[in-house]
């Protein structure tokens, strides 16, 4: 993970903050093309959209699939404020996005959230390990741990 990756992760965390300000869960995602230019961003809209599948990454995949070809997406990177859940990882696999980078791990998120029937403990690496073609995964990002956690502070309890 290089400084450019960390800059994009910082932007994903900014999107997560915006999502929270808009009344949704604090998750954000951005899509970066193979020239390292941001091309899309998406917030979580579960609450305002009344759709349990409207996670930031799933919303981003929907937009990306309408905008780019699978061949283009294979060279793109999805940056997520928090590790993609199993549902979003499946969507990323089917979209053929080639790389995922995330700031906060699912495990660390569940420590913040606490016990909940909504928790599905399945790290994205386990989903992507069965993905053909493979999806490259990097994360969590210790350098952004404090910032990634801060967006969740006080939200879940």
**Continuous segment of H or E residues that includes residue 114:** none
Query: What is the band of 149 on the pLDDT scale with cuts at 50, 70, 90?
Result: very high
29 bridge partner residues: 42, 80
Mean pLDDT of the chain: 95
Residue 125 to residue 32: CA distance in whole angstroms: 20
- Choose among 133, 91, 92, 127: nearest CA to 106: 127
Query: What is the band of 121 on the pLDDT scale with cuts at 50, 70, 90?
Result: confident
Specify the pLDDT at position 120: 81
Q: What does the pLDDT average to over 62-75?
A: 98
Query: What is the band of 71 on the pLDDT scale with cuts at 50, 70, 90?
Result: very high
Q: Catalytic: 57?
A: yes
For residue 91, is pLDDT > 90?
yes
Active-site residue, selected from the candidate residues 57, 83, 106, 147: 57
CA angle 9, 13, 19 (to 5 degrees): 140
Specify the pLDDT at position 118: 74
For residue 65, is pLDDT > 90?
yes
Specify the pLDDT at position 83: 97
Give percent above pLDDT 90 in the chain.
90
35 bridge partner residues: none
pTM summary value: 0.96
> What's 41-107 look like in SS3?
EEECCCCCCCCCCCCHHHHHHHHHHHHCCHHHHCCCEEEEEECCCHHHHHHHHHHCCCEEEEEECHH
Specify the pLDDT at position 156: 86
């Amino acid at each position: 993970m290089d400084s450019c990756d960390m800059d994009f992760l910082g932007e994903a965390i900014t999107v997560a903050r915006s999502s929270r300000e808009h009344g949704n869960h604090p998750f954000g995602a951005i899509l970066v093309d193979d020239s390292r230019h941001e091309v899309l961003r998406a917030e979580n809209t579960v609450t305002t959209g009344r759709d349990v599948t409207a996670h930031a990454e799933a919303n981003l995949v929907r937009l990306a699939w309408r905008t780019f070809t699978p061949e283009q997406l294979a060279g793109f990177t999805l940056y997520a404020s928090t590790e993609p859940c199993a549902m979003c990882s499946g969507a990323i696999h089917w979209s053929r996005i080639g790389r995922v980078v995330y700031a906060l791990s699912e495990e660390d998120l569940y420590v913040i959230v606490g016990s909940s029937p909504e928790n599905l403990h399945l790290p994205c690496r386990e989903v992507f390990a069965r993905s053909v073609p493979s999806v490259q995964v990097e994360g969590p990002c210790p350098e952004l741990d404090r910032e990634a956690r801060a967006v969740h502070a006080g939200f879940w309890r």
